[in-house]
Chain A
Amino acid sequence: MPVRYLGLAAVLAASVSVVTCASAQEAERKGIAAPPGHVFKTIISGYEFRSKETRALQDDDLENPGFLAVERAADAWKKAEGSAGKSCMSCHGEAETSMKGVGAAMPKWDDKLKKPVNLEQRINICRTENMKAEPWKFKSQELTDMTTFVRYQSHGMKVSVKTDGPMSPWFERGKQIYYTRYGQLDLACESCHERNNGKFMRADFLSQGQTNGFPTYRLRDQRLVPLHERFEGCMFDVRAEPFKPLSDEFIALELYVAWRGIGLPVETPSVRN
């Protein structure tokens, strides 16, 4: 019998050390003070929830594989396509100046469509209406590259979205989706990212679910992943039927989640696991 007690003691000791380790991680996790009325006291980028190695990969502009996309799209920016014979550059000039801050404020209200559009949709609207070119498919390398490139021009700027005026019903809709439990596992966004962030769910270390780094280079996929694909993935993981990417539901959710990260710096292209 004493042997079994010994075994139990060892398990206890091990679990205690895990707890201290997790709280030590918590102490050094940097965040910013949340605006009044926010559900959190501090809002923390997903960056702080990742390992030292992953963070190092994001911090070095050369090692960060997301920059391959930025460079690819910098070339695509200048390339004329479609029957109008225009490139992005023909209308917008140098992206470094004209696109500064654009990615930080998406999704944004579109007067013509009478609804908010996100960056992917905005790029495709430009392609179909101004360039008279085929829109890029969602998840295609071209669209994700360009989204990353445009958002990268806001690198380090604070996330800021408008949620008042015509946006407010969309904001409410997004909020409702955030708190609704979906799927066989009966989980809402809130279950993991609000109530349990900073804890492990099996091997998955839960972050606050901030969107400031998207599109993000996921080491698991070995490519850049746009936000709506991650939304889809989360819904799939809780065994729900996901909404379609770029659907009204996901745009509303994107708006609401962006609001939850107001003030965080844009990190695109970020690296996550």
Chain B
Amino acid sequence: MADKPRIKLPKEAAKGEVIQIKTLVSHVMESGQRKDAQGKTIPRKIINKFACEFNGKPVFACALEPAISANPYIQFDAKIDEAGTFKFSWTDDDGTVITAEEKIALKA
């Protein structure tokens, strides 16, 4: 499950431009409400939190609930005022955090 998340955003943007950020992460998102063949409950395992920071400042964050399908896809917009780095993090129920970084430059 430790696949690299897929992230798409432009390499550069003009000052003040609003860009679109798309993310897709590989995860089973087991709801905790299903039963296996033996009738035992399959333990819940979901990504419960997603967060995005830009140069250390929070841009977007959300809490994910068991109804979210596998391989959650999250898309949001951000206004770019300076060049910098986006940091993404997906927090799993078991405490592991999947992280990724993506740089963006200002158009000259």
Contact = CB atoms under 8 A, between A and B. Distances in A.
Contacts of A72: 3, 26
Given A62-B24, A67-B6, A222 B70 contact: yes
A222 B29 CA distance: 10
Interface string B1-31: 0011010100000000000001010100100
B91 to A, nearest CB: 19
A62 B26 CA distance: 12
B71 interface: yes
A19 interface: no
A65 B3 contact: no
A65 B4 contact: no
Contacts of B6: 62, 67-68, 71
A63 interface: yes
Contacts of B4: 71
Contacts of A65: 24, 70-71, 73
B26 A222 contact: no
Interface in A26-75: 62-63, 65, 67-68, 71-72
Contacts of B99: none
Interface in A64-113: 65, 67-68, 71-72
B22 A63 contact: yes
B15 to A, nearest CB: 25
A68 B26 contact: yes
Contact of B24 (A68, A219, A223): A68
A62 B23 CA distance: 8
Interface centre among B4, B22, B69, B71 (most CB of A within 10 A): B71
Contacts of B22: 62-63
Interface string A216-254: 000100110000000000000000000000000000000
Interface centre among B8, B24, B69 (most CB of A within 10 A): B24
A42 B70 CA distance: 35
B3 A68 contact: yes
Contacts of B26: 68, 72
A222 B71 contact: yes
Interface of B: 3-4, 6, 8, 22, 24, 26, 29, 69-71, 73
22 contacts: A62-B6, A62-B24, A63-B22, A63-B24, A63-B73, A65-B24, A65-B71, A65-B73, A67-B6, A68-B3, A68-B6, A68-B24, A68-B71, A71-B3, A71-B4, A71-B6, A72-B3, A219-B69, A222-B29, A222-B69, A222-B70, A223-B70
